[in-house]
Amino acid sequence: MANRESVAIVSGACGDIGRAIVLELARRGAAVALSDVGSAQEAEGVLREVRALGRVARYDRVDVSDAEAVDRWVDDVRSTTGDVAWAVASAATVTIAGTMQVSSGAWKRELDVNLNGAFYVARAAAGAMLGADRGGRIVFVGSWAAHAPHANLPAYSVSKAGVRMLCRCMALELADRGILVNEIAPGYVDAGLSAEVFRKDPGAREKASARVPLGRMMTAEDVAKQVGYLCFDSSSHTTGSTLLMDGGLSLGTPVRGSEFEP
């Protein structure tokens, strides 16, 4: 294929954070291949925005917990759209329930999507990069919950802790092939999975903000800009790293206001 596009693949692309990441990478010059579990109609809005930027965009319905489906998606992107240069594993789900309340099915599904799905996307992307004999960037959308225990989010916290070690293992394995692998670890984001909590409990947003030493939560666009940083040349010596952006939550500053756990 002459004049092949350099493509960014983004899973979980129809969520607030995934959508912001797609647009950030498109603004930086990437063609984008989106996936999520929703219908094609759900992706039409973000596809229009990408195309308005003059970039190629496509959407495929993919359950990232299905390894074969992920492989087919990435293979088709590579054969019909262009070389995979960037990959962002953003798909995630959350169950708000402690270890004694979470069902076995919910536990399994969360690890299947958040950890296994991230692995399948990153592995397929790395294979495409190696097959094209080019370097690339892989970014996992992790969480500060990977290192901060949350009593009501055990499945989510465990899955994100696994993603963090997966990032480091892949970074070590792929470094000499020019593939950089990193994690972005947000704290409270006023979007995405946290926004679902806020919709059910309007007072939770204020409680969350009160816990953050900076006194405010970040937006999906804030997260996307840092993903963009990890995907482009300004971070050419960064691999196996976690970019923690939690507004100081991990510093252990005493809580200002009511307790909140997303």
On the CB side of 46, how many CA atoms lie within 13 Å of its CA?
32
CATH fold for domain 5-251: Rossmann fold (3.40.50)
Query: Which residues of the chain fall short of a pLDDT of 70?
Result: 1-3, 253-262
- What is the pLDDT, as a whole number, of residue 255? 40
**Residue extents of the structural domains in the chain:** 5-251
**DSSP letter for each residue of 147-171:** TS--TT-HHHHHHHHHHHHHHHHHH
Active site residues: 156
- What is the pLDDT, as a whole number, of residue 3? 58
The 10 Å Cβ neighbour count of residue 196 is 13
